[in-house]
Structure 1
Amino acid sequence: MTIIGTADEILAELQTDAGRRAPYPLYERLHALGPVNLTPASPAYAAVANGYAAVDQILRDPRFVKGGPPPAPDADPITTALSNSMMFRTEPDHGRMRRAFHAAFTPRRVAALEPEITALTDDLLDRLAGLGSDGPVDFIAEFGYLLPAGVMSALLGIPAPDLDWFRTRVQRVEDYLDFGGRTPEKVAAANNAATEMSEYYASLIAARRSKPGDDLISALVQVIDAGDGDLTDEELIGNLLVLFNASFVTTINLLGNAIPPLLERPELVKALASDPAVAEACVEEVLRWDGTAQLVVRTASEDLEVAGVTIPEGGLVLVILGAANRDPARFPNPEVFDVERPDKRHITFGAGPYFCIGAVLARAEGRLALPRLFQRFPDLALASPPVQSAGLALRGFATMPVVLGN
């Protein structure tokens, strides 16, 4: 008989390296305990929410608070940058910042990027063919990273030669944000990264203010200067840092997480390469089955009941999106990757007021890139087992050696 354990024990296991790399058996154990589970022994969390309905309820209820006040004058650089973004600020500041971004980051802007996404994908596939002609090539480094980097370059107006500079700094911020503790080394690295990226964005904002372009930063500067967005330059910098990290890392992980389940299904790969509807369904099932964003945190602003469990005022709730996407009460046989699943309405991008603002862009990149990848390399195969990254909050692969085939 399987020993399920307590929610506290499962939470402790999730914070180990092994738990972060393979969380789904732990989620299954949480589901056996219930959709919401108190964690009285945890020094950080009052409860874990893992059921789909419970997670959806918490994300949509404004009494479960995300974020905090503006940063203190003496806050360290990473705290200042994050606290100046909509994702780490409570209302009314969150809504104010989000409205400014909605005025500039429109579906039309994303749709206008689609030809560029397609062209960039084809260029990268040409490059991949050259690199892989003599043996295995790392799909993550040579395609999964470069595509969203190029798209973010086009969206934000970041010069392409600067993108390599961003990679290590983005990783340092991701390491700081990941579930499982912040070491002094991670904090120091994140502070250095936040300082450098904030200075970079400040310089780019100044350049776009004097000479606007067609990019998102130019559009946001125009919103600010017109007085329509009620957004400061410091808040724009914080939001750009978070937007780049979230959209960029999410898309890397989406592309990488799609490869193993697709390679196990050759007939699906053939259909994906020729049918846009299958491509869209594949993207949604990947996001459900092995979601790029696995968890968020909320604070109960008062005693609140979810799924019959009372979460005390001030209690932090670990809201596990990845577990909700594997909830058997919502998805029959949730461990099965099934693109024909009638209900694939995952919660990877969140719900309610904090729904991921970059979701439409990540979906577009996956929907456009994956078919072209398999059209070009129908015999793509893993050269050796891919290496799962040690992060859980944003889940993906660190490396994925592939052979391209004939």
Structure 2
Amino acid sequence: MPDIVQNPEVLALLDELTRMPGRADPYPRYARLREISPVVRADDGALVVTGYGDCATVVRDPRLQHLPADMLAFVGFPDWREHPALHQLFTSMLTLNPPDHTRLRRLVSSAFTPRRVEALRPAIERMVQDLLDGMDGHDEVDFVEAFAFPLPVNVIGELLGVPAQERAGFQTLVRDWTQVLEVITPDVLARADPAAAAIRDHLAGLVEQRRQRPTDDLLSALVQAQAADDRLTDEEVLSNAALLFAAGFETTTNLLANGVVALLHHPEQYALLGRRPDLAQPAVEELLRYDSPVQLSSRVVTAPLELGGVTVGEGERVVAYLGAGNHDPARFPDPGALRLDRADNAPLSFGGGIHYCLGAPLARLEAQIALPALARRFPSLALTGQAQRRDSLSLKGYTSLRLRTG
């Protein structure tokens, strides 16, 4: 295999993406990496791709699989099973490969079919109007607190079966737990482990209730699948319940907040969305492309394949910068422009292949209902300049976003 670019400029750019302000605006750095080479090598040996076609290959080609949990031993965590944050993540379908991934995904996919998701539309529309009513009458609001978090957490809470009064408490816990998707260090684990344990303990109590009194929710379905023919272990029930709940609001919260910021930085597009609710579907695709809530995805090569014109060998670790692929000018003309009516839009924000985000149709529906309704209700919505970005690149978003409503 030819030498893959690793030089001081590449390493400096990749280093900038590990901290602010590189995380806040990674797109110029992505563009420069792509100009240097389609495939570059990070200082830890991983290969990094930034082109749309290569990123699509990484998330779709079966020759690339998720890093097995045992690889954690090679980055200093041979005791990963003793860390709740790592154990809970690496025994969920998010990081598993076939056949375990296939079995687990099949058991929960029925809750996210297009028909079942579309049946949630009236309930989502009611939630959106209630939240907008709550914002009305306030000159200034924290959009994350008032809207972007409560909408998806209540939607997924209803679907999964988490009681309404208990949902808000999961926000900080999930944020602390999912930091292990960014980087695994002892300091991160010191916060992530107790958060993951608290999530697991809480869900364990709900699972036990469903064993005694099943209801019409996804938790009950997981318990019943386990009881039917032992297809799910106790560990799998809890790990995947935690994953579904966390993923069900974390990504959508970021989509809504990132989307509002993008729209308010392009007021003509925000006004257009308010006038043209028929643009809801392409608008959400463009907002997903423009500032993706999920910026990267990692895999390991199981059989040689070509990326960026070179053959990549078995055992190589590859990181696909999905946000970079979404801004590749070879795929999206003038990628820095926000165009809600952009044609032939196919962002990589929800991944691809067998690991394509199970909740993507639900996240899209929530945003397609919420953002046009917001633009109609608050045509003069404006940024105040007071925003707290999440210190993360893998999951890009805001922890606080203050807006003027009129």
> Quick check: TM above 0.5?
yes
Paired residue type of 1:368: I
Q: Answer yes or no: is 1:37 the counterpart of 2:40.
A: yes
Question: Does the residue aligned with 2:338 lie in a helix, a strand or coil?
Answer: coil
Aligned counterparts of 2:144 and 2:20: Cα–Cα separation in 1:
21
**1:10 touches 1:30 (CA, 8 Å); kept in 2?**
yes
Aligned partners of 1:344, 1:23: CA distance in 2, in Å? Answer: 21
State the distance in 1 between where 2:80 and 2:373 align.
Answer: 49
CA contact (8 A) 1:65 1:300 kept: yes
Corresponding position of 2:4? none
The one of 92, 99, 103 aligned to 1:96: 103
Is the contact between residue 273 and residue 279 of structure 1 (CA under 8 Å) also seen in structure 2? no
Aligned equivalent of 1:308: 309
AA matched with 1:115: P
Q: CA–CA distance in 2 between the matches of 1:282 and 1:397?
A: 20
Give yes or no for contact 2:255–2:397 (8 Å, CA) kept in 1: yes
Contact 1:120 1:147 in 2 (8 A): yes
CA displacement, residues 118-153 of structure 1 (integer Å, 9 cap, x when unaligned): 1111111111124x1xx3211111111111111121
How much does 1:274 deviate? 4.8
SS of 1:293's partner is coil
Partner Cα separation in structure 1 for residue 131 and residue 277 of structure 2 = 21
**Residue 243 (structure 1) aligned with residue 247 (structure 2):** no
Aligned to 1:121: 128
Deviation of the 1:160 alpha carbon: 1.0
Equivalent residue for 1:189?
Answer: 191
Corresponding residue for residue 11 of structure 2: 8
Q: Is the 8 A contact 1:50 1:319 kept in 2?
A: yes
| Aligned: 1:166 with 2:173 | no
The one-letter code matched in structure 2 to 1:289 is Y
Matched-pair contact (CA < 8 Å) for 2:153–2:248 = no
* Structure 1, unpaired ranges of 5+: none
Please provide the CA RMSD for this pair.
2.1
**Structure 1 residue 5: deviation in Å?**
6.1
Distance 2:158 2:275 in 1: 27
Structure 2 counterpart SS, 1:108: helix
1:256 is aligned with what amino acid? A
Residue 385 of structure 1 and its aligned partner are, at CA, apart by 4.8
Q: Which moves more between the two structures, 209-218 or 249-258?
A: 209-218
- Of 200, 203, 209, the residue aligned with 2:202 is 200
Offset of residue 301 of structure 1: 2.1
Name the % identity. Answer: 41
Aligned pairs, number: 393
Moved more, 315-324 or 107-116: 107-116
> How far has the Cα of 1:259 moved from its partner?
1.3
C-alpha displacement at 1:195, in angstroms? 1.1
Distance 1:334 1:177 in 2: 27
Amino acid at match of 2:351: G
Over 3 Å counting, the alpha-carbon distance change for 1:20 and 1:158 in structure 2 is same
Higher mean C-alpha deviation, range 378-387 or range 151-160: 378-387
Compare 381-390 and 395-404 and name the one that shifted more. Answer: 381-390
Asked if 1:18 is matched to 2:21, the reply is yes
Query: Which residue identity lines up with residue 382 of structure 1 in the other structure?
Result: L
Q: Return structure 1 stretches of 4+ with deviation > 6 angstroms.
A: 70-73
Contact 1:20–1:390 (8 Å) recurs in 2: yes
CA apart distance, 1:392:
0.6
Stretch deviating more after TM superposition (95-104 or 256-265): 256-265
Indicate the residue corresponding to 1:54 in structure 2.
54
Query: Distance between the aligned counterparts of 2:265 and 2:20, measured in 1?
Result: 26
Alpha-carbon offset, residue 262 of structure 1:
1.8
Q: Which residue of 1 aligns with 2:233?
A: 232
Structure 1 residue 328: deviation in Å? 0.9
Name the CA distance, whole Å, in 1 between partners of 2:112 and 2:235.
18
Paired amino acid for 1:335: G
| Alignment CA distance shift 1:8-1:151 (3 Å) | same
Say if 2:115 is the partner of 1:112: no
Gaps of 5+ in 2: 1-6, 73-78
Kindly tell me: are residues 188 and 266 of structure 1, through their superposed partners in 2, closer, same or farther at Cα, counting changes over 3 Å?
closer
Which residue of structure 2 lines up, in the alignment, with residue 254 of structure 1?
255
